[in-house]
Amino acid sequence: MIGSLQCVVLDCADVRELAVFYRGLLGGEVDRPDPRWSLDDDWSTLHPPAGPVLAFQRVADHRPPLWGDPARPQQSHLDVDVVDPDAAHAEALALGATLLEDFGGTRSWRVYADPAGHPFCLVRHRS
C-alpha cells in the first residue's frame, strides 16, 4: 500500500456553493479545521458523517463534464445510497441538482449534475 484516501476533490468555480450543496445531500460539516490543508476562497471541504472527506477546488475556467459526451466525459462521480429515491430526488433538485438521466425500474438509479456540473447518482438502497 502506497497510501490511503485523504479526500475526493471536485473542481468547480465556487467552492463554498458546492460544499454547501453536498452538505445538504450527505450531511456533515463544511470547512472543519484540518491540519492537512488550508481553507480559503480556492479550497473548501465537507466532512460527512460517513465516507471520505470531499474537497472542492476553485478552477477559474472550470468546464463541467457533459453527461454522455465523450469529448467532455464525466471524469469522476459519486454514488449516493438512498432509501426513498423519490424523496431523495425532490431534495436533490431543491438543493440545485439537475436530473440528467433516469434509470428506473429494475436498475433503480438516477443521474444528476451538481451545481458545478459534476455528475452523481442517487441509487436505491438494497439490503
The cell 458545478 sits on which residue?
116
Q: What is the pLDDT of residue 69?
A: 87
The residues spanned by each domain of the chain are 7-58, 78-124
Render pLDDT for 57-85 as a digit per residue (tens, 0 to 9): 998 889 888 888 888 887 778 889 888 88
Strand partners, 46: 30, 54
Task: Check: CB of residue 15 under 8 Å from CB of residue 44.
Answer: yes
Q: Is the pTM of this model over 0.95?
A: no
Q: Does domain 78-124 have CATH number 3.40.50.980?
A: no
Render pLDDT for 45-62 as a digit per residue (tens, 0 to 9): 999 999 899 999 998 889
The cell 460527512 sits on which residue?
48
H-type helices in the chain, by residue range? 15-26, 85-95
Given a cut of 70, whether residue 107 has pLDDT beyond it is no
CB contact set of 43 (below 8 Å; sequence gap of 6+): 15, 37, 55, 56, 57, 58
